[in-house]
Structure 1
């Protein structure tokens, strides 16, 4: 990370906006991780060329791993909101630049909603370092979201059924699915804290996706924490 990027990403020394007064209550908290999948987080993934620099600079992979470990130790709900595309989705007749890109590189591709042929180790699979936490029989794996927000999956239902009203939010990608989930969860009445170094964004001529997301997180989220702050809060009893 360059010194200029570090300066841009740093939290403001004197924020103009007031604090929300947020207090974490573990009894009604969930960790939600969007798209902790190979296509985003591994050099072998389809999007590493544009996300890899940000993932590396933020140490995103290790930070998400720490959050999963801390949430399991705290016995709070852990929910994964994954992104999958099936052959039936090829019939879509239109899509924005992001959708066009994702389909063009075969991102999150699966053979079908009821088939696991070729899934293990594919770009749609979970990062190997996370599988022991995600596939433990307790973690909620929501149905796939199809663009960036959870409006098209069952994440909100799963959280409500577990009495969750506060969310620690992490995952990929900062200005896309993380921000999309943040906005929808807020609209649905959840308090949301974004763990700002447990995500990353694309770097393209169009702009720095991580920086754009950080700005919006500060305006919208109940708080933006580091992984250290989130882990400490999950350890508080």
Structure 2
């Protein structure tokens, strides 16, 4: 016990007793801190999610309501180079694609749209040999050309296309190759300004778009902005897109912030499928 009355041993005993008390106090302190950390962990984990919607949004909520006959599902770049571990970009997009369950979620959108006989359109990304002769490029254009991303042998040549990086994901081919899905001419940088997507949608009486695909801060955001400027009402599906994570920044985080600011609606796949099913 620490209250010994042996005077000859007071000094040694006092030292040992002090150590014992410090250890006890440290033990209590550690237990208290551990308990507090356990209580705070859920809140901290929630705060740590950089993609979570704001608890108290400042912007007005969406009032977008789908109308049968006016709506299409549009998917950008549902291709192997973006969405498969075999693709040339997987090392930088794979974490985000996996984190959000993008491959499965795009498949759910395709299936839901087909079950309701909605207009479905794909805006693909292809590069032909002549595109590699461009005299100036942005950073990502340089990278895409350097790694052979979306390469095809020519606009009228499908040699080697099947199962190449430019080909569609095998999971989606039953939907895309059904003879009904619109496959637009390729976009070349990010947006649909240079392809026939808008024309195809207008010719089908579409002015509402459910937008998904790859990648969030590049082609998806560029399509969103252009379609909005052309008078379409656009809902983006937040977990049916993903983006690269590089030292320059997290592309998905950059995009999700802009989606909240400018899209007519920002839905999860579950919400989008429910909206489609209600038509």
**Which residue number in structure 2 is paired with residue 23 of structure 1?**
65
Residue 89 (structure 2) pairs with residue 47 (structure 1): yes
Q: Deviations over 1:123-153 (max 9, x none)?
A: 0000000000000000000000000000010
Q: Which one has the largest radius of gyration?
A: 2
**Which residue number in structure 1 is paired with residue 141 of structure 2?**
99
- Report the CA distance between 1:121 and its aligned residue: 0.4
Whole-Å separation in 1 of the counterparts to 2:57 and 2:111: 31
**Which residue number in structure 2 is paired with residue 224 of structure 1?**
266
Runs of 5+ unmatched residues, structure 1? none
**Superposition pairs of residues 5-16 of structure 1, within 5 angstroms:** 7-16=49-58
- Report the CA distance between 1:187 and its aligned residue: 0.2
Mean CA deviation greater in 7-16 or 172-181: 7-16
Give the secondary structure class of the aligned counterpart of 2:135: coil
TM-score, normalization by structure 2: 0.83
Whole-Å separation in 1 of the counterparts to 2:172 and 2:103: 9
Q: Which runs of 4+ in 1 moved over 4 A?
A: 2-6
**Which residue number in structure 2 is paired with residue 109 of structure 1?**
151
**Superposition pairs of residues 49-64 of structure 1, within 5 angstroms:** 49-64=91-106
Whole-Å separation in 1 of the counterparts to 2:181 and 2:268: 23
Runs of 5+ unmatched residues, structure 2? 1-43
- Report the CA distance between 1:19 and its aligned residue: 2.2
Q: How many residues align?
A: 236
TM-score, normalization by structure 1: 0.97
Whole-Å separation in 1 of the counterparts to 2:85 and 2:275: 31
Whole-Å separation in 2 of the counterparts to 1:44 and 1:71: 27
- Report the CA distance between 1:26 and its aligned residue: 2.3
**Which residue number in structure 2 is paired with residue 149 of structure 1?**
191
- Report the CA distance between 1:25 and its aligned residue: 1.0
User: 1 or 2 for the larger relative contact order (CA 8 Å, sep ≥6)?
Assistant: 1
